[in-house]
Amino acid sequence: MHPAIRSAVFLTVGIVLALAIAACGGSSPASTPVPPPPAPNPFAAVAGIVDPDNHGWPREVEGLNGRITIAAKPQRIVTLSVGHDEMTYALVPADRVVAVGSATKNPSYSNVAHLARDLPTISREPEVILAQNPDIMVTSPFVKVEIVESLSNAGLTVVQTSLENDPQARINNILFLGYIYGEEDRAVELAAEVQARFDALQAVVAAKPDSARPRVLSATRYSDKLYTAGAGSTEGGIIDGAGGVNVAALAGLERNPIISLESIIAMAPEVILIPQPLEFGAEEFRQDLLDNPALAEVPAIADRRVYLVSGILYTTLSFWNLRGTEDLAKILWPEDFAGKEFGPFSFPE
């Protein structure tokens, strides 16, 4: 369990022990009530937070672009990635986000498009970003160094962070951004919510024997090229979390490489997922797979277990990919999740 969640547990245990001692007439040698142990600081284990005991301003964080001082609680926020926007909207009131990139406003790519619909759209041009008068920008490693330096030189506080997709990093991402924004309480609350949903899922799928785990392939087709998701990919993490076996990772593939029909035959998946937007030909691709005589003996094709899944849940680098894991668990283990509905995550009031 993550420290952010353990802290509440330790505090509760301490209180229960103290009450039990009092109820039994017990006491410490000095007849002083036994205080509960101090709750661990959930931010202490989060890489990038320079002084996790500092909850005032200014505060310092270590980003990919070096040590950054945040002078005051950010009120006008921009980011340059969908994943950061999805986490930001879950941590701060919506009116503190002043502009977003075009992908965040597109419901084919974003889980917060409904919240960002009416905001100004920014590009990666420094003058376009600065025109929105932000007081902080949080961004991904994919933004060019020259852009980060230009914005920093203009006086904008810029924190460049990575977004990883494994369960522990997912929690750390939430806590780190919450600290940057001065929303520590909300970050701990959201981390607990996400962790609880992950733990509930794992309570079911972790008990499945290896022999029962379906062989799963994630596949997409763009410009007549086939792509899959191997080790280290977001889609691969979803397959693992849902209790499937990622056949692309088993084949030694990493990230999102190009594959061939022959490699699909060789990997012999029992389930094929297509995390591709409908407007980019997902249904046509599915039908082509099912109708291709060369693939007829592939178990997923023979059993017609080829599923269109939500791309915004499978490709995002935010905690929203846990929703993809939940939905895939329903596909892989229908007897365990029959009738189960997984709702959205909470947003600040």
Please tell me whether residues 124 and 180 are part of one structural domain.
yes
Residues whose CB falls within 8 Å of the CB of residue 24, separated by 6 or more in sequence, listed in order: none
**Residue 50 located in a structural domain:** no
Q: Residue 79 belongs to what H/E stretch?
A: strand 77-79
Please tell me whether residues 70 and 180 are part of one structural domain.
yes
Please tell me whether residues 186 and 301 are part of one structural domain.
no
Q: Please identify which residue in the block is written with the tokens 């070096």.
A: 66
Please tell me whether residues 251 and 146 are part of one structural domain.
no
pLDDT in tens, the chain (349 residues): 444 444 543 443 343 334 343 444 444 455 577 877 777 899 999 999 999 999 999 999 999 999 999 999 999 999 999 999 999 999 999 999 999 999 999 999 999 999 999 999 999 999 999 999 999 999 999 899 999 999 999 999 999 998 887 889 999 999 999 999 999 999 999 999 999 999 999 999 999 999 999 999 999 999 999 999 999 999 999 999 999 999 999 999 999 999 999 999 999 999 999 999 999 999 999 999 999 999 999 999 999 999 999 999 999 999 999 999 999 999 999 999 988 999 999 999 8
Helix, strand, coil percent values for the chain (each to nearest 5)? 45, 15, 40
Structural domain count of the chain: 3
CATH number at residue 91: 3.40.50.1980
Please tell me whether residues 230 and 275 are part of one structural domain.
yes
**Residue 333 located in a structural domain:** no
Q: Which domain holds residue 261?
A: 210-315
Q: Residue 232 belongs to what H/E stretch?
A: none
Please tell me whether residues 147 and 261 are part of one structural domain.
no
CA angle 180, 186, 36 (to 5 degrees): 105
Please tell me whether residues 135 and 178 are part of one structural domain.
yes
- Cα separation, 280 vs 300, whole angstroms: 22
- Cα separation, 64 vs 55, whole angstroms: 22
**Residue 144 located in a structural domain:** yes
Please tell me whether residues 35 and 78 are part of one structural domain.
no
Q: Please identify which residue in the block is written with the tokens 């929203």.
A: 320
Query: Is-contact 80 101, C-beta < 8 A?
Result: yes
